[in-house]
Structure 1
């Protein structure tokens, strides 16, 4: 058996059994402990996003990263080609019922997203006038396990900077095959790789503020455009909507299909697609959450719930609806992924829809390149804060994007999936152990809101005396 086959089997076992149980379990646990904070205080999260701050700069004279910018950085990483190709693959493999379980996982996962992002805010640090934080930081500061934090950082860097960014570059490049005959045999993949590498370099050498600015422009514009495409498609097939929802619900609870093969059922495929699209509890988004300048850690925890909902309930649902109203049936291994989406969109609105999907893939994937890089940078700085090391690391990230656009490195992607799996396991255990701290912060937040006091967080009020920021 080849190494890649072994990695594929390990990948399947980890994601189908271990991670699903852990992520669903911790999501339900925190939903109960927080009394459904992801729905109960959703309005507060929206309010935090739209509130204008008088503070354009922090006390060090550097531009502050707003809650909105931090949200867009995390959403940029979450929203990628998986929101288009991944949903098509899920429906082709598991049937329309996978969409229901995807929705349910977004709601449950919102509680995990709240806890991990609140913890990232509580234990963040300030370096060179900017906030940094994430799972590695709360593993070191709250658990006292720097070695575990370093392990998490290494896994995240391999996964996001090299694996997932190579995958996003390849998906962008290969989407042009529709337009160029024998595309992979031409010089175009190299040209695309070079353009992507240069564009990414210009952004990442500009620092977190440029990353925040770019993602806060690309993500909202493309998300709105993509959702509008979904709305237009639904409006054109409005009479089909009751039938589509009927298919989703009927297939979601097709117990005979479940008994026939649980691993390939709508339940498992929908749960996997939902969890691994919105990344709730996986330990990635807290790296962006920590960068925001807020008055209370809970505010950013609530904001990150919105990112989960944008990813799954809005963007993934838009893809699902466009596929299901088209009348085109996907089939795993025959018509799935991008070809399934292209066939469905062409059936819905004509050939111009294919061009829109290609553009969407480029926009979503490029924003993911930037968001993924930001996560990796935060973790390379956790391991060692050194400018030379950082610049060398940036160069290797740019090279990975250049090479990724030219080749299908399936082994590298299997390694990326496996490292993300181990990364998630480390983070899930950590937030389970530290979740009580986030819940205490939530109570502190709610008490201040009930009393009508201006929001202000002091770590000692919830029994913590070892934070850098909230003294």
Structure 2
């Protein structure tokens, strides 16, 4: 097992360091330039898109998920343990300067998220419950490759709803058992794993719409709890805000990494942890983006770009400030959740540690739901058989149960490798397809300048084949008398 683990870690490091991260950075910069910095220029439109009207069908029912529901589903998978453990690890390895590179990666990565999510909307598929789509769908329809779409779907299922879900369950059980002074009784971990598995079953077997309804309630609640906790701690250490900001900016270019001791380590750690957290380019969020009913693909592209900012510039930043304003000794600090936990308890007392455990549970559980949503979309891409979907849901519940009981070391390494492979395949797919996105952006912008609420129909992209939805204005808007 050790030999396998060493091989996985070595392969993962090579994939990320020499192949994936350069591609991520180059494409993010290219998409930013090519789109005229859409992720900055249209920021007000991103916020407005959250409350966009949901088109209805002939019976007056929503055609699919609302823009806000799609946002919360993607936020459920984005905002997870990585926002607490990942930031702590980034600071422990790369020093405060890694935070600045996480911020920079979020700003440029939002352009990548815009491209992949807009493509997911363009090539989305309509079924009895609404819309679904993602990388597998736009690879088949945009690049004409069914086999590559299946490969992407399989890799995503193995990486997200299986490997990463197992890690979330493990983290919940570990957090609960770790809260017992002197060690938890042996029955606690199995009991926690069973409860989480039952909760997962109750939501997952209700289908995509139930997952969306739960994330719509849980994501804002957990975000407000965590942001409130962080703001209290930062206010209590207000005198440290200036020095912390200075340390973040100075260390970003000084190369004073804690573990690596080089500028390359600071940049590499910040960029990698930033991408792991906000998932820009991974190909995961597009599965949520495609599920939204909207009148123009660009609208959901903008909403998902906002999701990158929400994850990194807000939630990750709160974690960074919680840690850094308490002035930890980074040379001896334990990376991961422990850094955040020690900072919270040290500032507010043991009660705050209990609250943090509740927040960790909400983060991990909502991530499980978001990833399961992605898995369902890709199972349905591979096969429409209802029995396979039910079998998938059963396996997910079993994975949650097992994840709370086993060591996560090898699973975490495999998840890193599979997520890296997924991101590589997705980025190579969206690079040539991005030309359609820039045409869509011009179409959207022209209508905005004309004072219209942008509406897209597939005849606006002549020469682009295999667009399934977007037939005419009446079906797109859900309003009578259109088209």
TM-score by length of 1: 0.96
Asked if the contact 1:444/1:462 (under 8 Å) is kept, the reply is: no
Aligned partners of 1:184 and 1:158: how far apart in 2? Answer: 31
1:462 to partner: Cα distance: 2.1
Structure 2: tracts of 5 or more residues without a match: 472-483
Q: Is the partner of 2:50 in helix, strand or coil?
A: helix
Match of 1:391 in 2: 390
Residue deviations 1:342-365 (CA, integer Å, cap 9, x gap):
111122222222112111100010
Q: Cα gap change, 1:91/1:459 in structure 2, threshold over 3 Å: closer, same or farther?
A: same
1:335 to partner: Cα distance: 1.4
Q: Give yes or no for the alignment of 1:198 onto 2:179.
A: no
Match of 1:85 in 2: 85
Match of 1:343 in 2: 342
Aligned partners of 2:37 and 2:150: how far apart in 1? Answer: 32
1:250 to partner: Cα distance: 1.4
Asked if the contact 1:328/1:343 (under 8 Å) is kept, the reply is: no
Asked if the contact 1:183/1:189 (under 8 Å) is kept, the reply is: no
Match of 2:11 in 1: 10
Match of 1:26 in 2: 27
1:58 to partner: Cα distance: 6.6
Structure 1: tracts of 5 or more residues without a match: none
Match of 1:299 in 2: 299
Residue deviations 1:257-286 (CA, integer Å, cap 9, x gap):
599755872211111111111010110000
- Superposition pairs of residues 116-127 of structure 1, within 5 angstroms: 116-127=116-127
Q: Give yes or no for the alignment of 1:401 onto 2:416.
A: no
Q: CA RMSD in A?
A: 1.9
Q: Is the partner of 1:2 in helix, strand or coil?
A: helix
1:32 to partner: Cα distance: 0.3
1:57 to partner: Cα distance: 5.7
Asked if the contact 1:322/1:345 (under 8 Å) is kept, the reply is: yes
Q: Give yes or no for the alignment of 1:139 onto 2:155.
A: no
Match of 1:362 in 2: 361
TM-score by length of 2: 0.93
Q: How many residues align?
A: 469
- Superposition pairs of residues 36-435 of structure 1, within 5 angstroms: 36-53=37-54, 55=55, 61=61, 64-180=64-180, 183=183, 186-255=186-255, 262=262, 265-331=265-331, 335-435=334-434
Residue deviations 1:113-142 (CA, integer Å, cap 9, x gap):
000000000000101141010010000001
Aligned partners of 1:388 and 1:353: how far apart in 2? Answer: 45
Asked if the contact 2:223/2:315 (under 8 Å) is kept, the reply is: yes
Residue deviations 1:192-240 (CA, integer Å, cap 9, x gap):
1111111001101111111111001100111112112121111111111
Q: Give yes or no for the alignment of 1:447 onto 2:446.
A: yes
Q: Is the partner of 1:126 in helix, strand or coil?
A: strand
Q: Is the partner of 1:406 in helix, strand or coil?
A: coil
Q: Cα gap change, 1:185/1:350 in structure 2, threshold over 3 Å: closer, same or farther?
A: closer
Residue deviations 1:370-411 (CA, integer Å, cap 9, x gap):
000011110011011110011111111110000000111322
1:425 to partner: Cα distance: 0.6
Aligned partners of 1:263 and 1:136: how far apart in 2? Answer: 37
Aligned partners of 1:188 and 1:260: how far apart in 2? Answer: 38
Aligned partners of 1:260 and 1:266: how far apart in 2? Answer: 8
Q: Cα gap change, 1:183/1:245 in structure 2, threshold over 3 Å: closer, same or farther?
A: same
Q: Cα gap change, 1:414/1:146 in structure 2, threshold over 3 Å: closer, same or farther?
A: same
Asked if the contact 1:121/1:290 (under 8 Å) is kept, the reply is: yes
Q: Cα gap change, 1:198/1:429 in structure 2, threshold over 3 Å: closer, same or farther?
A: same
Q: Is the partner of 2:420 in helix, strand or coil?
A: helix
Q: Cα gap change, 1:76/1:257 in structure 2, threshold over 3 Å: closer, same or farther?
A: closer
Asked if the contact 1:58/1:64 (under 8 Å) is kept, the reply is: no
